[in-house]
Each structure stands twice: as structure tokens, then as C-alpha cells.
Amino acid sequence: MLVVGNWKMNGTAAVNNQLLQAILADWSPLRCVDVAICPPFVYLPQVVEMLSEGPINVGGQSLNPRVNGAFTGEVSGEMLLDCGCRYVIVGHNERRRMQAETDLYVAEQFLAAQKNGLIPILCVGESEQAREAGQAFDAIAKQLKVVIDAAGLEAFSHAVVAYEPIWAVGTGKTATPDQAQEMHTFIRGQFGALGKNLVILYGGSVKASNAVSLFAESDIDGALLGGASLNAEDFIAICQSAEQVATGVTQ
């Protein structure tokens, strides 16, 4: 299992300090769950430093696929690795929509992440409109295909996929475990034999109250969290839910 917290554009040095202190103070070791936090770029050094002694990894929220050059405001994969990142999110729906990132650009980011030794967390998700029109599976297949065509299936043995239905991200409207499981099974099916070991996260209004029922689904391997990663108690509870489901031990 893997639980990743995406802080988005939240926090200040003081707020991050307080949040991480609170998480570390109540942290219990997890045997079967990897955990990562993706802060805004400017706070990567602070977060890496504060988490350096512990089991929580750090990731970037995006990257520019170019190596370097005249790309004002951008950050490369090499820079993220340099800062101590292990993961990087690519294709988050907020960036696809607000920064007009296309499937092809996301594929370039995926390739650049791996080239720089980072594990890409590839987000895919359908709009509410697509779901209502019965086109959710087509939408996901298309987003995946562009990256698979560019990187090859084998590349996914060092990558994570996050299924994040757009209508569920930041809306408080979580996909039901059945809806998520159905899509995760479909996603796994796109990867042939490799699909068996692919880590597929669910993201979209995961909370402490619904995490266990989602994690209990056989094709859900963890969560990508937005809002819940900004609250120490919720973040810890969700990580512990993952551990509980993975180990079969109620805490």
C-alpha cells in the first residue's frame, strides 16, 4: 500500500512545521505502507529536512520535462531529485485543466521523471460529464494509452497510477468502493501481465471515515490525498487504515 499527501498550494514554513511535528509526534511505524508527502516546490528542502530521519518520503507536485533553460517558474526532474524527492505527481487534473497540460505533455513529464530517477505518480480521471455519458472507461483508456505509447508498458514497473475521478477531487463526493474498484480493475487490465504488480491509488475526497472501505477493495493499493493530508490526525488515521487493511490487523 502507498499513501501520498498532495499539499497543493497550501502551507507556510510555520504551518508546515506544525503539521509535520504533529504527524511525527503521533506516528506509529507501518510495516506494509509506504508514505509520501508532496509539498509546494519552495518547501521541499524544509520538508525533506524534517522527514530525513523517518519513513516518510517526499515528492514533487509536478515537473517540467525539459532538462534546463528558459522556462521561467518551472522546475526540472533533476532539481526535484537534487532536493531529495522520490516521487513526482504528473497529470493531476488541476494541472491538466488550469495549466492546459495535454496527454502528450503528461507523457513527456512521465518520461522525464523516470529519466531522472523519480517515480512518477500518473493521475488519470474522467469528468462528471464523461461518467454520466457512459464514457468514463474510454476517457481513462485514452489518458493511459498516450503514456503507454510513449514510455512502453515496462516503464510502469517503476511507476504508480492514481485514479482520480475529477468529480471527486476536492468536492467531498467520494467514488463508492464499487465504482473505484471497477475502474481500478479496468486500469490494471490495460497493462497486461504487468498489471498484477502495478500500484494503483485512488484519489478523490478520501477521508478517515471512508478509507478502510476503499482500501478493502482488492485493486485499490492506497490513496492520493489532497485535503486530508493537511490535517495530522486525518493523515495518520488514513495511513493506519491502509496498514490495518494490508496486515489484516485492527489497531
Choice from 44, 130, 151, 206 touching ligand PEP (CB under 6 A): 206
Site membership for ligand PEP, residue 203 (CB under 6 A)? yes
Taking Cα atoms as reference points, which of 164, 40, 150, 174 lies closest to residue 93? Answer: 164
Annotation says 92 is catalytic: yes
Structural element, H or E, at residue 4: strand 2-6
CB atoms within 10 A of CB 196: 8
Choice from 225, 237, 238, 245 touching ligand PEP (CB under 6 A): 225
**How far apart (Å, rounded) are the C-alpha atoms in residues 187 and 192?**
10
Site membership for ligand PEP, residue 205 (CB under 6 A)? yes
Q: Contacts with ligand PEP in 3-32 (CB under 6 A)?
A: 6
Site membership for ligand PEP, residue 226 (CB under 6 A)? yes
DSSP 64: B
- Between the alpha carbon of residue 14 and those of residues 26, 46, 116, 201, the distances in Å are 19, 10, 31, 30
Smallest distance from the beta carbon of 146 to ligand PEP, in angstroms?
Answer: 20
Site membership for ligand PEP, residue 224 (CB under 6 A)? yes
Smallest distance from the beta carbon of 229 to ligand PEP, in angstroms?
Answer: 7
Shorter beta-carbon distance to ligand PEP: residue 50 or 201: 201
Beta bridge pairs of residue 200? 161
Site membership for ligand PEP, residue 227 (CB under 6 A)? yes
**How far apart (Å, rounded) are the C-alpha atoms in residues 76 and 73?**
10
Cβ-closest residue to ligand PEP? Answer: 226
Taking Cα atoms as reference points, which of 111, 46, 59, 110 lies closest to residue 86? Answer: 59
- Between the alpha carbon of residue 93 and those of residues 117, 128, 222, 226, the distances in Å are 23, 13, 18, 12
Write down the catalytic residue from 164, 184, 217, 243. 164
Smallest distance from the beta carbon of 209 to ligand PEP, in angstroms?
Answer: 13
Q: Under a CB-based contact definition with an 8 Å cutoff, are residues 251 and 32 in contact?
A: no
Site membership for ligand PEP, residue 39 (CB under 6 A)? no
Shorter beta-carbon distance to ligand PEP: residue 68 or 209: 209
Site membership for ligand PEP, residue 204 (CB under 6 A)? yes
Size of the site for ligand PEP (CB under 6 A): 13
Cell numbers for 91: 497529470
Site membership for ligand PEP, residue 164 (CB under 6 A)? yes
Site membership for ligand PEP, residue 221 (CB under 6 A)? no
Provide the binding-site residues for ligand PEP, judged by CB under 6 A: 6, 164, 169-170, 203-206, 224-228
* Catalytic center residues: 92, 164
